[in-house]
Amino acid sequence: MRLFAYALLGALALCDSAWCAEEESAKERIAALTREVGALRRSGGLYDPRQYALLNQLADLHSLQGDIDEALAALAYIERISEHTDGRQSTLHAGTLARIADWHCRLGRFDSGRQRFRRSIERLRHAGGDQLIGALLGLARCSFAELAAEGVVTSAVSLDYYRGPVLRTNRMSVGSPTFHYRVQKILRPDAEQALRYAAQLAETGTMQPERRVQVLVQVGDWFQAKDHSRTARRYYASAQRWVQRTVAADDPLAAPVQVLYPVPPRALHTSPLSEPSAAQRYVEVEFTVRADGRIDRERVVTRDPGKSAADETLQALQAARYRPRMMDGEALETEGVRFRQAFK
């Protein structure tokens, strides 16, 4: 997890030789890429499309360093090149705009990211196809990034995918009765409308069954995170019908999957200040995932960090939501599910 809001002083105090060497290597790579970009501009002009890959790498490296403004500057130049090369109203530029929008959301610039997604969707509507579906799903993913900014995960990789500052506010405290109200407010109506449209395209358009399943499961996860389990179940059931038509396809609904989980404050606050070599300790919990995606009959199996960490994990799991196991279109209760929360 990259919690830039807390990291600077602790990282400097705890910097070991391996960590410092990695930081120095990143700076050297940034300097080398910057020189390559300059050389391309001198030889091929200011808008040479060969800069795309280099600028994207620069955005990635700067974001890993916490240099959000530098990452945004690289993305702004990609946008200028795309407008100049492909034309502002072109389908090609709309696809590039969706990728830039996704980066803005990953960097914590949610409003500018959503604005670019909307522009991209508007230009891709006449073209349809997977590019349009990707932009529609991206607009929803921006809301998931906004949850990640407050330490609430929506997939196994959502906090690592997010590169902006993470800071849990009182509004997102799992002890607050307004926690799920706040989640629903962040999962915005325009993104929900985009998801419904993506699901419609997935059901009626021409695409690989695996892609249909992926889209429908993502839409189901959105509603499951909002605690709208009945609506989610309809999309899950539709996805499972496509799974059954696909030979040797993996079934993403064969076992419960976590779709919403507020990381315990102790785990959020200690991660950025720990040395890379610091030993991790775990709280492991076993529970039942109900058909509606909530947990029940939870018990602590292991609690290395102590009782307070175990209590925080249990409280977070009570607010969590899971994609339930599905069979023949029906959500089933699943016993013996285990979850492990790491603490450094």
Q: DSSP letter string over 272-302?
A: GGS-TTPPPEEEEEEEEE-TTS-EEEEEEEE
Task: Output the pLDDT for position 22.
Answer: 67
Asked if the model's pLDDT at residue 19 lies above 50, the reply is no
Residues 70 and 174 in one domain: no
Instruction: State whether 144 and 242 are in the same domain.
Output: yes
- Residue-range definition of the domain harbouring residue 34: 23-86
Residues 172 and 293 occupy one common structural domain: yes
Q: What is the mean pLDDT of residues 229-238?
A: 97
Question: Same structural domain for residues 322 and 176?
Answer: yes
Query: How far is 285 from 270, CA to CA, in rounded Å?
Result: 20
Residue 225 has pLDDT above 60, yes or no: yes
pLDDT of residue 178: 86
The reply to whether 81 and 113 lie within a common domain is: no
Q: What total number of domains does the chain contain?
A: 2
Residue 119 shares a structural domain with residue 227: yes
Could you tell me if residue 15 is inside a domain? Answer: no
What is the reported pLDDT for 226?
A: 96
- pLDDT of 136 > 80? The answer is yes
Q: Average pLDDT in the 128-146 region? A: 95
Mean per-residue pLDDT of the chain: 89
- 203 versus 279: the higher-pLDDT residue is 203
In tens, the pLDDT along 67-87 reads 999 999 999 999 999 999 999
List the structure tokens of 88: 């502002």
For residue 24, the model assigns a pLDDT of 76
Q: Per-residue pLDDT tens for 273-285?
A: 344 445 678 999 9
Model-level pTM? Answer: 0.88
Please give the C-alpha separations between residue 230 and each of 57, 227, 324, 327, 329, in angstroms, as whole numbers. Answer: 42, 9, 11, 15, 12
pLDDT value at position 273? Answer: 38
Tokens of 269: 């606050």
Q: Is residue 236 part of a domain?
A: yes
Confidence of residue 91 (pLDDT cuts 50, 70, 90): very high
Q: Which of 180, 114, 175, 170 is nearest to 142 (CA)?
A: 114
Same domain, 264 and 115: yes
Inside any domain, residue 40: yes
Higher pLDDT, 19 or 294: 294
Q: Are residues 276 and 139 in the same domain?
A: yes
86, 108, 130 — which closes off a domain?
86
- Does 234 lie in the same domain as 296? yes
User: Is residue 8 situated within a structural domain?
Assistant: no
**CB 28: neighbour CB atoms within 10 A?**
10
Check residue 318 and give its pLDDT: 95
CA-nearest of 73, 47, 39, 46 to 59 is 73
pLDDT reading at 21 higher than 80:
no
Q: b/e for 6-17, b at 16 or more Cβ within 10 A? A: bbeebbeeeeee
Q: Residues 82, 103: one domain?
A: no
pLDDT at 9 over 60: no
Same structural domain, 78 and 110: no
Residue 200, domain member (yes or no): yes
Higher pLDDT: 302 or 146? It is 146
From 86, 109, 138, the end of a domain falls on 86
Is 306 a residue whose pLDDT tops 80? yes
End-of-domain residue from the set 71, 86, 101: 86
CATH for 195 = 1.25.40
At residue 8, the pLDDT reads: 28
In single-letter form, the type of residue at position 260 comes to: L
Is 198 inside any structural domain? yes
| Tokens read off for 44 | 């091929």
Query: Is 279 inside a domain boundary?
Result: yes
Q: Which residue has the higher pLDDT, 203 or 135?
A: 135
Coil, strand or helix: which one is 258?
Answer: strand
> Which pLDDT score, from 0 to 100, does residue 305 have?
83
Same domain, 183 and 134: yes
Among the ranges given (13-27, 37-51, 53-67, 193-207), the one the predictor scored with the smallest mean pLDDT: 13-27
Domain membership of residue 296 (yes or no) is: yes
In the chain, the largest separation of any two C-alpha atoms, in whole Å, equals 66
Distances (CA, A) of 299 to 161, 283, 296: 30, 11, 9
